């Protein structure tokens, strides 16, 4: 196919991979991923984003990118977080489908192929999520503690936030470019993944999942075989994800707590009546019943206020989404826009 025609209409798929201090694997990873993408039956591009590495990863990546015109390197000097890196790459993507994944293909050699196939098989889907929590998915060479935390964490997130996906915390996904570009995204860290699911669900985007296996691979470094590990600070991530989930849709558990408190009030009232009929002291039990009823009603009112707040928030997101879909020249500058949302200069 003529290269000029490809440049004019753009590739079908863009793969975006952030990296931070990956000098030990970056060279082989980019080459392997590019070779893997070359097996696709469509035009593609690979964007790797340096999230402020300090170990020379950026220079290595740029040197490797010179070998392949489909590989592009973006980045910045200061570490900003995974969300900022992904947004930087997504804003520059030209493909109609944007896949975000680990640069070492730890979700499987065919994960990009599988995600693209799912997008083609489900044209109604705006987002396809790779999930180890579906039948056929799983974990390989990942410590049991991390697996347990991931599974439990995603169940908690689903209970607090949304049941749209069984894997809310993973980076490996495929997006329709127009869909991901329409979301008003701001989170610079790994909460970005939760923010995408939250806002996509709120704005009516359709999410589909496919089973996938996450594997922590071994690699060679200075002649030694080493197991690749996650750089995530688990305790910090648990706190940040928990806070995000709890604050994302608090009405879900506030109303549940209101209902449980109301049931307790009814039980104490029944107990007070039984005490009264049997001639026992019932005043204290009746007072407890009344206090619980007041608390239940107060929680219900708080839930109503929170529900109204959620509705207003969704309307604001919808307005922001509409603005994002307008041509850049008609939008004008947005003083609240983050650095990651401002698209960097066009790719060379």
- pLDDT tens, residue by residue, 248-277: 778 878 989 999 999 999 999 999 999 999
Partnered with residue 316 across adjacent β-strands are none
pLDDT value of position 323: 77
Q: Are strands 97-100 and 173-176 parallel, antiparallel or unpaired?
A: antiparallel
Q: What is the pLDDT of residues 173-194, one digit of tens each?
A: 999 999 999 999 999 999 999 9
* pLDDT given at position 233: 65
Going by C-alpha positions, the residue among 272, 244, 50 that lies closest to residue 162 is 244
Give the residue among 231, 229, 233 at the shortest CA–CA distance from 216: 229
Mean pLDDT estimate for the chain? 86
Strands (E), 33-159: 44-51, 71-76, 97-100, 127-131, 138-140
Span 224-236, pLDDT tens digits = 445 555 555 666 7
What's the pLDDT at 270?
Answer: 95
User: What is the CB neighbour count within 10 angstroms for residue 233?
Assistant: 10
The pLDDT value recorded for residue 244 is 78
Q: What is the DSSP letter of 108?
A: -
Q: What is the pLDDT of residue 222?
A: 47
What's CA 274's distance to the chain center, in Å? 53
Q: Is 333 helix (H, G, I), strand (E, B) or coil?
A: coil
Tell me, what's the pLDDT at 3?
A: 41
pLDDT in tens, 60-92: 999 999 999 999 999 999 999 999 999 999 999
Beta bridge partners of 225: 220
In degrees, rounded to 5, the angle at the alpha carbon of residue 68 between the alpha carbons of residues 56 and 120 is: 110
Q: So what's the pLDDT on residue 173?
A: 97
- Asked if 211 and 111 touch (Cβ cutoff 8 Å), the reply is no
Mean pLDDT of 307-322: 78
Mean pLDDT, residues 290-296: 95
How many angstroms separate the CA atoms of 267 and 144, rounded?
Answer: 43
Cβ-Cβ contacts under 8 Å for 288 (sequence gap 6 or more): 268
Quote the pLDDT of residue 319: 78
pLDDT more than 90, % of the chain: 62
Residue 224, pLDDT score: 47
Most confident of 61-75, 146-160, 218-232, 233-247: 61-75
DSSP per position, 224-240: EEEE------HHHHHHH
Structure tokens at 332: 């004008």
User: For residue 150, is pLDDT > 60?
Assistant: yes
Q: Percent of the chain scored above 70 by pLDDT?
A: 86
Instruction: For residue 217, name the pLDDT band (cuts at 50, 70, 90).
Output: confident
As given in the structure block, the two tokens for residue 156 are: 């908690």
pLDDT at residue 219 greater than cutoff 50: yes
**Beta-bridge partner residues of 98:** 14, 175
pLDDT average, residue stretch 134-146: 92
From CA 143, how far away is CA 148, in angstroms rounded? 9
Outline where 18-56 has alpha helix (H): 26-37
Q: How confident is the model at residue 248, as a pLDDT?
A: 77
DSSP letter for 280, please: S
Model confidence over 104-134: pLDDT tens digits? 889 998 999 999 999 999 999 999 999 999 9
Burial class for 209, CB neighbours closer than 10 Å (0-12, 13-18, 19+)? buried
Q: pLDDT at residue 328 above 70?
A: no
Q: For the chain, how many residues are written? A: 348
25, two tokens: 């694997």
H helices within 166-282, ranges in order? Answer: 177-181, 192-202, 234-248, 251-277
Determine the pLDDT at residue 82: 95
pLDDT tens, residue by residue, 159-173: 877 788 999 999 999
Q: At what angle do helices 234-248 and 144-160 cross, to 10 degrees?
A: 10
């Amino acid at each position: 196919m003529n290269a000029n025609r490809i440049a004019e209409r753009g590739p079908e798929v863009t793969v975006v991979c952030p990296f931070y201090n990956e000098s030990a694997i970056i060279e082989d990873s980019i080459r392997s991923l590019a070779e893997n993408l070359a097996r696709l039956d469509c035009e593609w591009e690979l964007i790797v984003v340096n999230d402020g590495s300090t170990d020379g990863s950026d220079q290595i990546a740029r040197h490797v990118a010179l070998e392949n015109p489909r590989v592009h390197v973006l980045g910045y000097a200061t570490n900003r977080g995974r969300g900022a890196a992904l947004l930087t790459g997504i804003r520059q993507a030209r493909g109609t489908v944007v896949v975000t994944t680990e640069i070492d293909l730890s979700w499987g050699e065919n994960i990009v192929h599988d995600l693209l196939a799912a997008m083609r098989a489900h044209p109604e889907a705006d987002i396809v999520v790779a999930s180890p929590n579906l039948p056929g998915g799983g974990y390989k060479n990942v410590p049991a503690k991390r697996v347990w935390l991931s599974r439990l964490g995603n169940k908690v997130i689903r209970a607090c936030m949304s049941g749209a996906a069984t894997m809310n915390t993973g980076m490996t996904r495929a997006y329709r470019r127009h869909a991901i570009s329409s979301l008003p995204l701001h989170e610079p860290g790994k909460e970005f993944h939760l923010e995408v699911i939250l806002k996509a669900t709120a704005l009516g985007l359709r999410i589909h999942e496919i089973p996938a296996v996450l594997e922590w691979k071994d690699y060679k470094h200075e002649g030694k075989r080493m197991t690749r590990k996650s750089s995530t600070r688990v305790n910090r991530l648990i706190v940040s994800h928990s806070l995000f989930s709890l604050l994302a849709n608090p009405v879900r558990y506030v109303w549940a707590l209101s209902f449980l408190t109301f049931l307790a009030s009814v039980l104490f009232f029944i107990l007070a009546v039984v005490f009264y009929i049997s001639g026992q002291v019932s005043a204290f039990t009746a007072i407890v019943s009344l206090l619980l009823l007041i608390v239940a009603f107060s929680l219900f009112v708080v839930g109503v206020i929170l529900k109204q707040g959620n509705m207003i928030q969704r309307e604001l997101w919808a307005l922001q989404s509409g603005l994002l879909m307008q041509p850049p020249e008609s939008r004008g500058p947005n003083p609240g826009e983050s650095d990651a949302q401002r698209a960097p200069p066009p790719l060379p």
